[in-house]
Amino acid sequence: MLLGIGLGTIIGNFKIIRKINTPIQHIAIAVLILSMGISLGSSSTFLQDLNELGFKSVVFGVLTVLFSILCVYVLTFKIKPTKKLEEEDTQ
Amino acid sequence: MTLLIVICLLVGIFAGYFFISPEIAALSGDISNIALFFLLFFVGISIGSNKEALKSIRYIGFKVLLVPLGTIIGSLLAGAVCSLLLKMSLQDGLGIGMGLGWYSLSGGLLTDLSNSSIGTISFLSNIVRELLAVMLLPMLAKYTNEYTALAPAGVNSQDMVIPMYIKCVGQDKVVIALFNGICCSFAVPLIINIIYLF
């Protein structure tokens, strides 16, 4: 990733890189999810696990959202809203 | 893209359950590793080439860093609490919590670093997170502030939630969302790998 960031600052503006970047990311994601599905489906306890995994996923999803909201709010509630960019440019 | 991901997951599960032998299924770990390297490399290129968002920090100031910071701290705390509630290892709890809405990457990464059940929980919980991010944004923008509105979104604040954010907070604040998304994209693979180093 760091190599990508470094290269991105140098070659990221080339048209060809911009053109191939998104399709390659999509292909990599598809392969990644497909192999995750294969790995999950080939488990001998797959059907038994499914109910349990669904419940745990909802608990994780809801609590990460709640805790993130609390932490960001605690860190930012005293900050005034940002001004518009044009206003700051003229100052 | 979301449809493609769901189709890939269902096809993979179907193939793994009915057609693919366990020996061949074991190879899927190596294949996902290679895909993961490619994905991280090209995500890095996306981040590195997005100079506008990085330049715009001077307009907003470094307080914008509080959004990804709060999101990461909150997600890790939630992961620790979930690991206690659901009787899982702390490492897996923190790893799942640290997905920050990036279901495609964190699901694959945790399948490699832990096991396919943990990868699947991460995948599904981050889909739940993305849905909640879009649903809660208008309410959070109205009753909290422009920073907290982005807290549930994590990585998705640079793509999925942007239209809603612009509608609720304003076009001129979009750089906050972009910057938060970039920081979270950088943090997810880095922190998950650090969690599993120990």
Q: How many CB pairs under 8 A join A and B?
A: 314
Name the minimum distance, in Å, from the CA of B30 to any CA of chain A.
Answer: 9
- State the Cα–Cα distance between residues B122 and B113, nearest whole angstrom: 12
Please indicate if any CB of chain B lies within 8 Å of the CB of A33: yes
* Contact in structure between B49 and A9 (CB atoms under 8 Å): yes
* Residue A25 confidence (pLDDT): 82
Residues B31-60 have pLDDT tens digits of 877 887 787 788 777 777 776 666 666 666
Confidence of residue A79 (pLDDT cuts 50, 70, 90): confident
Confidence of residue A69 (pLDDT cuts 50, 70, 90): very high
Look at B184 and B34; give whichever has higher pLDDT.
B184
Which residue does chain B place closest to A26, by CA atoms?
A: B1
* Contact in structure between A32 and B34 (CB atoms under 8 Å): no
* Residue A86 confidence (pLDDT): 47
Interface test with A, best of B11, B86, B120, B158 (most A CBs within 10 A): B120
* Residue B2 confidence (pLDDT): 63
The average confidence (pLDDT) of chain B is 86
Facing residue for B41 by CB, picked from A4, A36, A49: A4
Facing residue for B97 by CB, picked from A5, A60, A81: A60
* Contact in structure between B185 and B156 (CB atoms under 8 Å): no
Residues B95-141 have pLDDT tens digits of 999 999 998 889 889 988 998 889 989 989 998 998 899 889 989 99
Q: Is the pTM of this model over 0.90?
A: no
Residues A12-38 have pLDDT tens digits of 667 777 778 888 888 888 887 788 788
- Please state, as a whole number, how many other Cβ atoms lie within 10 Å of the Cβ of residue A15: 7
* Contact in structure between B36 and B109 (CB atoms under 8 Å): yes
Interface test with B, best of A64, A67, A88 (most B CBs within 10 A): A64
| Residue A65 pLDDT greater than 70, yes or no | yes
Cβ neighbours of B190 in A, within 8 Å? 1
Per the structure block, which two tokens stand in for B164? Answer: 């809603």
Alpha helices in B19-102 (DSSP H): 22-26, 28-49, 51-55, 57-60, 66-85, 90-97
* Residue B83 confidence (pLDDT): 96
Q: What ipTM is given for this predicted complex? A: 0.82
Cβ neighbours of A68 in B, within 8 Å? 70-71, 74-75, 78, 151-152, 154
Residue B50 sits at φ, ψ, to 5 deg, of: -90, 70
| Residue B18 pLDDT greater than 50, yes or no | yes
Per the structure block, which two tokens stand in for A80? Answer: 């005034």
Give the Cα-Cα-Cα angle A45, B28, B122 (nearest 5 degrees). Answer: 60
* Residue B126 confidence (pLDDT): 92
Cβ neighbours of A40 in B, within 8 Å? 12-13, 16, 111, 116-117, 119-120
Which residue does chain B place closest to A50, by CA atoms?
A: B117
Is B85 in contact with A59 (Cβ distance < 8 A)? yes
What is the pLDDT averaged over residues A69-87? 77
Cβ neighbours of A78 in B, within 8 Å? none
Alpha helices in chain A (DSSP H): 2-11, 15-41, 46-76, 85-90
Cβ neighbours of B54 in A, within 8 Å? none
* Residue A1 confidence (pLDDT): 63
| Residue A90 pLDDT greater than 60, yes or no | no
